[in-house]
Amino acid sequence: MEEFSKPQYKVDVLKVEIPVNMKFVSGTKSFKGQEAYSKEKAKELYRATAAATTLPFIYLSAGVSEDEFRESLELATESGVSYNGVLCGRATWKDAIPVYAKSGTKALEDWLSDRGVQNIKELNKVLEAGAKAWK
């Protein structure tokens, strides 16, 4: 983040990964049993990466589950990080792939119209609580 914030790159907005793998953050719902970070250490990493830039930045979902992505954004908010939004796709719709494979186009469309919309609404609630406009 620090490097690409330098003026010579002429970057307006940084697209960045979540600074921790939530599966290894103890004390979270996403935790899978092997600790790499305590929740407090994870918050420190969020703050340290955010402090590396004065540019606006958005978090990428990196294809994790929608629950894990929302939890990672909630942790950013708990950390006091002023992120500016998200760029996500797979986190909101990837669970529809098996539906399509098993039941076809209509089932996929139904899933997207129901669960897919619900995923976006739930993500929007998290963003309303934590993301900050940069203008």
- Encode pLDDT of 19-56 as tens digits: 999 999 999 999 999 999 999 999 999 999 999 999 99
CB atoms within 10 A of CB 79: 22
pTM: predicted TM-score of the whole model, two decimal places: 0.93
Measure the CA–CA gap between 44 and 3, rounded to whole angstroms: 20
